[in-house]
Amino acid sequence: MTAAAIEISGLRMRYGPKVAVDDLDLEIASGSLVAVLGPNGAGKTTIVETVAGLRTPGAGTVRVHGLDPVADRDALRAHVAVQPQEAALIPNLRVSEALELWRALYPDGQDAGELVGVLGLEDSLDSVIDKLSGGQGRRLIIALTLMSDRPLMLLDEPASGLDPLARVQLWDAVRARHAAGRTVVVTTHLIEEAEALAERVIVIDHGRVVADGTAAELCARTGTDRLGDAYIALVSSPTIPDVAPRSATTLTKDFT
């Protein structure tokens, strides 16, 4: 296993005329806990899906622990767990049955009982997946991802749709995986999530990295006292050539 969990060089992804990721260079060290922070549509999900081997790079290279996510897809499964924004689970399974199935698929993963307690799924174990509320469904998807317990955990906007208590429970579970030595990458547009979790914050906009560092470093760079103010200053300023800056009003709506 290489010292870098993720190595991205010159990545470019396009959907028709829209450039989603624009000549991106990025390296994430093994064992780190990183928040990829950016507005909706900034390219965060495309980056996650490309790292996970779900999309083929239009240009550039991606390596995960030295593996090519496309060419080495089978080997990659032992290295990466992904929590997508949306996941299709077997609708007529009960929550307890889904957890048992996942344990059979990942016998060396994290214990389900611990995650049920941490993520507040105790009262949903007998519920059919198709009847879960949006928040409980999201908790289940997160539990299944964390059960996989791969060396690299990719969580794509995990707190979206969760109430404040569920967010705190989620963050506790993520910190526990990081403390156990896992590399965790969380994409988010929530300032509070980046502040609560990350040792390192990577700000993405229009498919490019516009800032990278600790929360304190980003505040020092922008002359602000809070990560939220630093984020607005970074993403609403014309730091990317040929791209119009976002308005502060739009950005405020993104993370509140």
**Per-residue pLDDT tens digits for 39-56:** 988 999 999 999 999 999
Out of 136-140, 244-248, 251-255, which region has the weakest mean confidence (pLDDT)?
251-255
In a domain, 216, yes or no: yes
Residues 31, 49, single domain; the answer is: yes
Judged against a pLDDT cut of 60, whether residue 239 lies above it is answered with: no
Q: Residues 37, 39, 42, 44: is their CA dihedral positive or negative?
A: positive
Structure tokens at 240: 């990317």
CATH number of the structural domain spanning residue 35: 3.40.50.300
Structure tokens at 233: 């200053």
In a domain, 195, yes or no: yes
- Of 102, 130, 149, which residue is a domain's last? 149
Q: Residues 200, 191, 182, 210: is their CA dihedral positive or negative?
A: negative
Residues 9, 74, single domain; the answer is: yes
Q: What is the pLDDT of residue 134?
A: 87
In a domain, 177, yes or no: no
- Of 96, 127, 149, which residue is a domain's last? 149
Q: Mean pLDDT over residues 50-73, rounded?
A: 96
pLDDT above 90: percentage of residues in the chain: 74
- Gap between the Cα atoms of 245 and 152, Å rounded: 33
Q: What is the pLDDT of residue 89?
A: 86
Residues 207, 243, single domain; the answer is: yes
In a domain, 171, yes or no: no
- Gap between the Cα atoms of 155 and 82, Å rounded: 6
Residues 75, 87, single domain; the answer is: no
Indicate the pLDDT class of residue 255, thresholds 50, 70 and 90: very low
Residues 211, 226, single domain; the answer is: yes
* 223-238 per-position pLDDT tens digit: 999 999 999 999 886 5
Indicate the pLDDT class of residue 256, thresholds 50, 70 and 90: very low
- Gap between the Cα atoms of 222 and 227, Å rounded: 10
In a domain, 164, yes or no: no
Residues 243, 119, single domain; the answer is: no
CB distance 27 to 202 below 8 Å: no
Indicate the pLDDT class of residue 69, thresholds 50, 70 and 90: very high
Q: What is the pTM of this model?
A: 0.89
Residues 139, 194, single domain; the answer is: no
Q: Mean pLDDT over residues 148-170, rounded?
A: 92
- Of 126, 149, 172, which residue is a domain's last? 149
Give me the number of domains the chain comprises.
Answer: 2
Q: pLDDT higher for 89 or 30?
A: 30
In a domain, 27, yes or no: yes
Which residue range(s) make up the domain with 219?
4-79+152-159+183-255
In a domain, 173, yes or no: no
Q: What is the pLDDT of residue 142?
A: 93
- Gap between the Cα atoms of 88 and 62, Å rounded: 26
* 173-194 per-position pLDDT tens digit: 999 999 999 999 999 989 999 9
In a domain, 103, yes or no: yes
Residues 212, 96, single domain; the answer is: no
* 101-117 per-position pLDDT tens digit: 999 998 888 888 888 98
